[in-house]
Amino acid sequence: MFDLNSLLRDNIKRLVPYSTARDEFKGEASVFLDANENSFGSPLPVNYNRYPDPMQWKVKYKLADIKGVPPQNIFLGNGSDEVIDVLYRSFCRPGIDNVVLFPPTYGMYEVSANINDVIVRKVSLTPDYQIDMAALQEAVDERTKLIFICSPNNPTGNSIDRSDIEMILNNFDGIVVVDEAYINFARQKTFISELTEYPNLVVMQTLSKAWGLAALRVGMAFAGEDIINVLNKVKPPYNINQAAQDLVLEALDNINQVNEWIRETVIERDKLAAGLIGLPQVLEVYPSDANFLLAKTTDAKGIYNYLVEKGIIVRDRSKVELCNGCLRITVGTPDENTLLLETIAQVAVNA
């Protein structure tokens, strides 16, 4: 049975979080002499002399309307990477506890685990890039605190079988983190609607992909209020700066534009996949629910280097487990995709 308190590190249970001036004050005021800010302003067209809302409530209320969850169930991080790091620092005892990952998958799960001295247990995906449930059962023990599931998965692009994720949620007493960075491009529905059913579920999403806000570094986590309260307790006080909050609020008013970009991206993804598989340099293009494709080629390194010479950058994933000979290619604009295909076609075929 899921028991959040038993998962928490003892030092986090005892932690008294840093209390900001904005946390202590509630209400309206016109004179702020509490936070040692520059009272004269800032040398910018917009004044950024005041510290931002540490809980980003305006952003959360707007996200709540879009996502259909209460704002109290939303955590914002400085990119999803901060969400990952805060999860490790909240629940995993360094050198003692472990996390389960499913390679090939997003590399920061392992990097952040190593930074936090958390033991990594890897359960390789099957050849069709799904979870090996029997191997997972062997890997989990009483010190497994987190399981990270990237769906749609990076770098493979496919969604993980929903029934497998549900089985893990029903049978694992720790926290299951479902990373949905690419969910806007997927046929599969989000797990956000399942938060009330699974108290051990954390769903990560991002504004970096479909929303086109990668430079702002704003990641999202959705979970039960008890888990969100823990993450807020551990995070730095002002982890999302005011400029980012202002720009996110502006962007969230343009959901119709974002939905149109998503539609165009999916159309271009299918066109690009068809174009790639028609090239003799490409052996296979794997099904994708993301805004990128994983393509198995005759010579990944050679094609990658040739594209670099022509000023086109893709990702060489040929040394990643289960991705031998593969390039990961982001879906670009129609003109970019055409140029990519024409350039790959110029590469000599090495069988």
DSSP string of 33-60, one letter each residue:
-SS---TT--SSSS---SPPPTT-HHHH
Q: Which structure tokens are listed for 129?
A: 């890039």
From residue 236, give the alpha-carbon distance in Å to each of 62, 121, 232. Answer: 22, 28, 8
- List domains and CATH numbers for the chain: 4-17+54-253 (3.40.640.10), 256-344 (3.90.1150.10)
**What local confidence, expressed as pLDDT, does residue 350 receive?**
65
Mean pLDDT per 10-residue interval, the chain, length 351 residues: 94 92 76 91 93 96 97 98 98 98 98 98 98 98 98 98 98 98 96 97 98 97 98 96 98 97 98 98 98 98 98 98 98 98 91 53
CA dihedral 309→314→319→325, nearest 10 degrees, is -80
Q: Residue 287, by phi and psi: left (phi above 0), alpha (psi -120 to 50) or beta?
A: beta
Cα angle value 98/106/85 (rounded, 5°): 50
Q: Residue 217, by phi and psi: left (phi above 0), alpha (psi -120 to 50) or beta?
A: left
β-pairing, 144-150 vs 326-330, is unpaired
**What local confidence, expressed as pLDDT, does residue 79 receive?**
96
57: CB partners within 8 A, 6+ apart = 71
Contact 118, 94 (CB under 8 A): yes
- Amino acid found at 95: G
Length of the chain: 351
Contact 165, 178 (CB under 8 A): yes
Q: Which structure tokens are listed for 147?
A: 């399981």
**What local confidence, expressed as pLDDT, does residue 185 receive?**
98
**What local confidence, expressed as pLDDT, does residue 232 receive?**
97
**What local confidence, expressed as pLDDT, does residue 81 receive?**
98
β-pairing, 292-297 vs 98-101, is unpaired
Strand partners, 296: 284, 326
Strand partners, 145: none
pTM higher than 0.85: yes
Instruction: Quote the CA–CA distance of 228 and 245 in Å, as a whole number.
Output: 19
Strand partners, 98: 119, 144
Q: What is the CA radius of gyration of the chain?
A: 22
β-pairing, 74-77 vs 119-122, is unpaired
**What local confidence, expressed as pLDDT, does residue 303 receive?**
98
